[in-house]
Amino acid sequence: MSTTTTPGQPFFAWRQGQLHAEDLPVADLARRYGTPLFVYSKASMLAALAAYQRGFAGRKSKICYAMKANSSLGVLQVFAQAGCGFDIVSGGELERVLAIGGKAADVIFSGVGKTRVEMARALEAGIGCFNVESESELEVLAEVAGAHGCTAPVSIRVNPNVDPKTHPYISTGLKGNKFGVAHERTLAAYRRAADLRGLRVVGIDCHIGSQITDSSPYLDAMDRVLDLVDAIEAAGIPLQHIDFGGGLGIDYQGVQPPAADQLWAQLLRKLDARGYGDRELMIEPGRSLVGNAGVCLTEVLYLKPGEQKNFCIVDAAMNDLPRPAMYEAYHAILPVAPRDAAEARYDVVGPVCESGDWLGRNRDLAVQPGDLLAVMSAGAYCMSMASNYNTRPRPAEVLVDGGHAHLIREREQPADLMRGERLVG
C-alpha cells in the first residue's frame, strides 16, 4: 500500500495500512504506552519553525515560542535547542523555561494579571521584557522593581481594535477584549512609563488573536502599530524592538492559512515601506508551530446505536481534548488502521459525565470496539488545557524523532491527583 499523508500533517502518514508518526507506527506506541496518548512529531515542529526562520532571514529578529499552546518540557526543549526564546503568561511558565535550562533573558512575559510575586521572580531571574497590558500594571511593576533595586524592561501591548476574523473566545485585539492598552491611550501610557523610575521602555507589542487564517488583519494591525511608533518616538521615547505577536492559524478543516514565510514577506514589505525595516522584530507563534505536530490516540470502547444518533464511545474525553467542548472546535478523527467496511455516522464521545463531552459530531467511520482512532491536529491547546475532571489522570506524551520514541510525560496515576490533599481530623 502506498504512503498517504494526512491533511495538513505531512509527518503523519499511512504506510501499509497503518498510521505512522514519522517512521513509527502509532499503533505500536499505543500498545507500549496505553491510551489516551499524545504523540508529537519533532520534525513537524522544526519544519513549522523553519518557515518563520526563512521569513526572517537577514533581519534582526527573535522568535519566541508562545508556550501556552503546549508547555510540556520535551516540547520546550525542541524549541530552545532550535534557538527560540519564549513567550510566557505566568510565573509557572517561567519556571518551566528555567527547568529546561532556558535563559530568562530570552523570555517575554505577557498576560493581563501578573502578580507582584510573579513580577519579583521574573526580575530576579533576569527577564528579557515585560509586555505590560494596562496602565495600572505600569505603576505596580515600577513599584516592585524599585523595591528590588532594579529596572524592569517593558513594552506596552497595544489593543489596535482590529478584527482578527476568528472565534470570539480567542480574539484579543478588539475594544471589547481584556487585553492590551487601548490604541487611543497608548501614547499617554508610554509617556507615563518613560517617567516612572524602575521602568525602561524597550519596545511595543501587539497581538490580535489566535487561529487567524487571513493576512489582512495582520496588515491592518501593523499599520496601526507603526502609526503609534511614529507618535511615540516623536515624543522622544525610542523603541528598540517591535513585537507583532503571533496568532497564525493551522489547517483543522480544509481552511488554509497563509504560510508563515509568505505572510512575513508581505508584512516586511510594509515595514520597509514605512521605514522600520532595520528594527529588531519579535514574534510569538504558538499554535502554528505545534498544532499540526500532534495527534491524540484513543481506543474505541463501545458503539451505541440510537434512534437519533449513533455514539462511538472512546477512552479520550473533554478533559484530555477541551477544544471541542470549549469552542465547538473541529478536529479530524481518523482510523489508525482503516477498515474495508461500510461506514456509519457517529458522534465521537468520551466517558466524562457531561453532555458536552464530545470530540467530534457526525463523523463517518468504519469502526469496532478495540480499534484505535487518531484525533488530529492535537498538538496545541489540548494537553496544555487538559484537566483531571472526573478524577481522570492526564495522558502520557511521546515525542517521535525519526525512528525513536521519547516518553516526555508519564501517564498520571490516581495517587498523583490526590498527593496534595489532606483528610480532616
Which residues are designated catalytic? Answer: 353
105, containing H or E segment = none
Q: What's the one-letter identity of residue 111? A: G
Q: Identify any residues that bridge with 205 across adjacent strands, giving them in sequence order.
A: 157, 243
Q: How wide is the angle at C-alpha 156 spanned by C-alphas 210 and 128, nearest 5°?
A: 90
CB 238 within 8 A of CB 276: no
Contact (Cβ atoms closer than 8 angstroms) between residue 69 and residue 291:
yes
The residue with cell 498523583 is 416
Determine the Cα–Cα distance for residues 275 and 272; give it in Å rounded to an integer. 5
Cα–Cα distance, 346 to 393 (Å, whole number): 26
From 146, 134, 239, 235, select the one nearest 199 (Cα to Cα).
146
Residue pair 215/268 in contact (Cβ under 8 Å)? The answer is no
Question: In 3-state terms, what secondary structure has residue 342?
Answer: coil
Q: How many residues does the chain have?
A: 425
Strands 18-21 and 9-15 come out as antiparallel
Chain position carrying cell 485585539: 173
Strands 333-335, 280-283: pairing is unpaired
DSSP assigned state of 209: B
> Cell numbers at residue 159, please?
489593543
Cell of 411: 501517564
Bridge partners, 361 (sequence order): none
Q: What's the rounded Cα separation, in Å, for the pair 174 and 160?
A: 7
Among 302, 283, 281, which residue's Cα sits nearest to residue 367?
302
Neighbour count for residue 136 (Cβ, 10 Å): 9
How far apart CA 40 and CA 20 sit, in angstroms, is: 11
